[in-house]
Amino acid sequence: MSKYDVIVLGSGPGGYVTAIRASQLGLKTAVIEKESLGGVCLNWGCIPTKALLKSAQVFEYLKHANDYGLVVKEYDKNFDAVVNRSRNVAEGMSKGVQFLMKKNKIDVINGFGKVKPGKKVDVDGKEYSADHIIIATGARSRELPSLPQDGEKVIGYRQAMTLKKQPKKMIVVGSGAIGVEFAYFYNAMGTEVTVVEYLDRIVPVEDVDVSKQMEKSFKKSGINVMTSAEVTKVDTSGSGVKATVKTKKGEEVLEADLVLSAVGIKTNIEGIGLEDVGIAVDRDKILVNNYYQTNIPGYYAIGDVTPGQALAHVASAEGILCVEKIAGHNVEALDYGNIPGCTYASPEIASVGLTEQQAKDKGYEIKVGKFPFSASGKASAAGTKDGFVKVIFDAKYGEWLGCHMIGAGVTDMIAEAVLGRKLETTGHEVLKAVHPHPTMSEAVMEAVADAYDEVIHL
């Protein structure tokens, strides 16, 4: 039996990062993976979807070339080539993780891993042991009873990335990050898209103002948005799909080539031995403490299988913190109130901290500032004037409570707010930090200036 200091079960952005950090800390490490290194994020999620979205963005530039004083007489899309480019990007990233495993002298064990009592892991009949076993098995597309996925007419995100033929009509159920990203991609490529959201607004975890702007932008792009709506049943017996949608006005039947179910995720915790070891689980999540230890000594869990936000960067941060604690470092527990969330549709969405309503509900007296990109020189020059930056501060102490952005490139801008909040920056400090002109990022400074009644360009 092979013996390790650390065995990581799963090689997604939580698992492979954890393994690398463990190896850097001098721990003999192995990672177990049943599919491809990099997990869902690198192979079927974060990375290949961004490749698809980039193709859609370039296609939109061609459509609007005249707006930039350019004449493009002939252009078209090759849907197969767009999909193949996405797969090639994913394959390249997965090979990059393979290289990192070799570089850091991490053993990669291919197969289905199952934890066992006595700090052991079974991989397809072969046993391995470790002082510390870290579960990072991630999650998959969640299925609703009224919307069973058949992989052909009712699909999840994996099938949505590798369709052989572009659909003429598509229904997207759910308007979280996955739903709106695919809605944007297929609409930009020429598919007629309808988004069905159960709650009363799309991207419902975001600030209300962001939801309103996203719906406005989507409708302007030709996407049909249905809120306070529920798909109660689907009929796949014909050549396409008939979806019965229940709304406040009654029932409506929508017809499409296929339905994309984007209603959340389900953790991969079945059949991996949790019951045999006695690891505590509550409502689909493995229970852990601040350092990701389960109730059984020597067993840990990170990423989507735990109660924190199901985001790639959260899984990576949790894994690093977990192994640094194992190695005896003095580590600080992760602040889940300062985790940025990003959605990569067009316009992009990025946010961190409290929404305006959440700040009010917590009893804060607040200062709110908002700066539209329509007043930004850089946005005007780029032709990307949709959206805004919104900031929320505690009026008493100047604490930066929240930051919410929607617009071009905002997913690259949100880190300023994350770092500022981490360093307990006040509104006045942000205001007096000189931002470069002309940039999209100076909209942050202008939004803060608006909160303190000092805005210049609005």
Which residue numbers are catalytic? Answer: 437
Secondary structure of residue 326 in the 3-state scheme? helix
| Token pair 């930039």 in the structure block, residue | 68
Q: Is 178 annotated as a binding residue?
A: yes
Q: Which of 155, 183, 218, 206 is nearest to 49 (CA)?
A: 183
Tell whether 304 is in a known binding site: yes
244 vs 55: CA distance, rounded Å: 32
Token output for 429: 């400090």
**Alpha carbon distance 392, 370 (integer Å):** 9
The verdict on whether omega for the bond into residue 438 sits within 30 degrees of 0, i.e. cis, is yes
Taking the C-alpha atoms of residue 149 and residue 141, their distance in angstroms, rounded to an integer, is: 10
Alpha helices in 327-441 (DSSP H): 356-361, 377-382, 415-422, 427-432
The verdict on whether residue 179 carries a ligand-binding annotation is yes
- Residue 189 tokens read as 């490529």
181 is in an annotated binding site: yes
The answer to the question of whether 402 is labelled as a binding residue is no
Question: Is 2 annotated as a binding-site member?
Answer: no
What DSSP string describes 225-263? EE-S-EEEEEE-SSSSEEEEEEETTEEEEEEESEEEE-S
Q: Which residue, 125, 118, 162, 137, is CA-closest to 302? A: 137
Q: Tell me the H-state helices in 294-410.
A: 312-326, 356-361, 377-382
List the alpha helices (DSSP H) in 144-286. 157-160, 177-188, 208-220, 274-277
Is 45 a known ligand-binding residue? no
**Residue 174, marked binder:** yes
Asked whether residue 197 is marked as a ligand-binding residue, the answer is yes
Was 180 annotated as part of a binding site? yes
CA distance 241 to 366: 48
- Tell me the binding residues for FAD: 50, 113, 304
- Tell me the binding residues for NAD(+): 174-181, 197, 264
- Tell me the binding residues: 50, 113, 174-181, 197, 264, 304
